[in-house]
Amino acid sequence: MIYLDAAATSAVRREVLEAMWPYLTGDFGNPSSHHGVGESAARALADARATVASWLGCRASEVVFTSGGTEADNLAVKGIAIASPRGRHIVTTPIEHEAVLASVDYLARQHGFTVDVAPVGRDGLVDVDAFAALLRPDTTLASVMLANNEVGTVQPIAELAAMTRELRIPFHTDAVQAAGWLPLDVGSLGVDALSVSGHKLGAPKGIGALYVRGRIPVEPVLHGGGQERGRRSGTENVAGAVGLAAAVRLATEHQAANALAATTARDAFVAAVLAEVPDARLTGHPSSRLPGTASFVFPGSNGETILLELERRGVVSSSGSACAAGSEDASHVLLALGYDEDVARTAVRFSWGPEVDAATLASVAPAVGDAVREVAGLRR
Ligand code: PLP
């Protein structure tokens, strides 16, 4: 099987599992306990926090461990918006992950927030001028993802965040898909909050982190024992945090070289698919995109059926986001990019990690051609 659905999730790396193992067995203590086993868990948690902080270029105290990307997004959006004395206005985009969109929707329904959505172009890039025009003195939060999970477009986050900084508006970015591919230095990005998720980069499902700049108040979403400096109650997932830190170390070791190699392989793959299927269109931005994502529409075909045909040929891919897979709705991302509903339903996303080499990827393009022709009833 060739697994090309890394944007949905990735396998746990052996080194990650080995790093976690002691904290599930011998050193299984609760970090809040005042005995040796607890203290050793607390030390491991502190070390993991320091690793994540150095990855993000922030202070350890600014890292909140969460159960994943969804919780990090919920905490950023709801937590910052509700705690802010500025007002009740949010600016976001129509192509955010559901974790952001549904949190914003909750704030509108339950807390009287008004929401403005900055438009995106056909390439998935946010219209920078339209974004700037939506910012108001009472804007509480702007949230724009670093890289899109369906089409892979990478946004000019530093430029957008600079606009909000001038107006002292907190800026959150969902970096779940960018993690492992792009540098996530929060100082260079200029963001006040940033979400990551472990299972997209070789750590297990159920661990993630939110960076929140020290001076920004956050209203917790989970109340209880006051862990994570009161921002996220609940006994800490020590083994998960250790696993996330191990995955971060692996991902950052050769990040630039991995991204470069994957970009070259991706471009060759895109060209090969377009040569196989002349009607196909690459979705998202041609160059400002994730190294490990290539997504297409195949007008006149059917995305779900192509997926089945590809799986019969040993290639696992996805019609878009894993959350939306199987739902009747066309992708909200492709609709926001201006695709018609019937074309949006023909989407197939291929996504991979650094372990997938160029030769493997190249071998998939003919399978894509075969699958699309099979669906069209046009066998070679
Ligand atoms: N944000 C983006 C951009 C994602 O792609 C995902 C997962 O697909 C999430 C958030 C949610 O992360 P998690 O699955 O860790 O809850």
Nearest CA to ligand 1 atom 5: 149
How does pLDDT run across 64-86, given as a tens digit for each residue? 999 999 999 999 999 999 999 99
Catalytically annotated residue among 46, 158, 167, 323: 323
List % helix, strand, coil for the chain (3-state, nearest 5). 45, 15, 40
What separation in Å is there between the alpha carbon of 69 and the centre of ligand 1? 5
Interval 15-20 mean pLDDT? 98
pLDDT surpassing 90 at residue 324: no
What separation in Å is there between the alpha carbon of 351 and the centre of ligand 1? 14
| Residue written as token pair 């995305």 | 303
* Cβ count within 10 A of residue 62: 23
58 is catalytic: no
pLDDT surpassing 50 at residue 206: yes
Mean pLDDT rounded to a whole number for the chain: 96
Angle between helices 36-56 and 238-253 (to 10 degrees): 30
How does pLDDT run across 329-364, given as a tens digit for each residue? 899 999 999 999 999 999 999 999 999 999 999 999
What separation in Å is there between the alpha carbon of 300 and the centre of ligand 1? 30
Of 324 and 149, more confident = 149
What separation in Å is there between the alpha carbon of 202 and the centre of ligand 1? 14
Interval 52-64 mean pLDDT? 98
What separation in Å is there between the alpha carbon of 197 and the centre of ligand 1? 7
Best mutation site among 92, 149, 184, 351 for ligand 1, i.e. most ligand atoms within 8 A of its Cβ? 149
| pLDDT at residue 195, as a whole number | 98
Q: Is 243 near ligand 1, meaning CB less than 6 Å away?
A: no
Best mutation site among 153, 173, 200 for ligand 1, i.e. most ligand atoms within 8 A of its Cβ? 200
Q: Is 293 near ligand 1, meaning CB less than 6 Å away?
A: no
Domains of the chain from N-terminus onward:
2-8+254-375 (3.90.1150.10), 14-253 (3.40.640.10)
Interval 90-101 mean pLDDT? 98
**166, 114 contact by CB (below 8 A):** no
Q: Is 177 near ligand 1, meaning CB less than 6 Å away?
A: yes
Q: Which helix (H) or strand (E) holds 367?
A: helix 358-375
How does pLDDT run across 233-271, given as a tens digit for each residue? 999 999 999 999 999 999 999 999 999 999 999 999 999
Q: Is 100 near ligand 1, meaning CB less than 6 Å away?
A: no
DSSP line for 160-228: HHHHHHHTT--EEEE-TTTTTTS---HHHHT-SEEEEEGGGTTSPTT-EEEEE-TTS----SS-SS-TG
* Cβ count within 10 A of residue 303: 24
pLDDT surpassing 70 at residue 323: no
* CA-closest candidate to residue 83, choices 196, 200, 215: 215
pLDDT surpassing 70 at residue 327: no
| pLDDT at residue 320, as a whole number | 72
> Is residue 295 helix, strand or coil?
strand
pLDDT surpassing 80 at residue 378: no
Q: Is 150 near ligand 1, meaning CB less than 6 Å away?
A: no
How does pLDDT run across 290-315, given as a tens digit for each residue? 999 999 999 999 999 999 999 999 99
Q: Which helix (H) or strand (E) holds 90?
A: strand 89-92
Best mutation site among 153, 174, 197 for ligand 1, i.e. most ligand atoms within 8 A of its Cβ? 197
b (16+ CB within 10 A) / e for 133-167 = ebbeeebbbbbbbbbbbbbbbbbebeebbebbeee
How does pLDDT run across 112-169, given as a tens digit for each residue? 999 999 999 999 999 999 999 999 999 999 999 999 999 999 999 999 999 999 999 9
| pLDDT at residue 380, as a whole number | 47
| Residue written as token pair 């107006």 | 167
**27, 239 contact by CB (below 8 A):** no
Q: Are strands 89-92 and 114-117 parallel, antiparallel or unpaired?
A: parallel
> Is residue 355 helix, strand or coil?
coil
How does pLDDT run across 222-237, given as a tens digit for each residue? 999 999 999 999 999 9
Q: Are strands 193-197 and 171-174 parallel, antiparallel or unpaired?
A: parallel
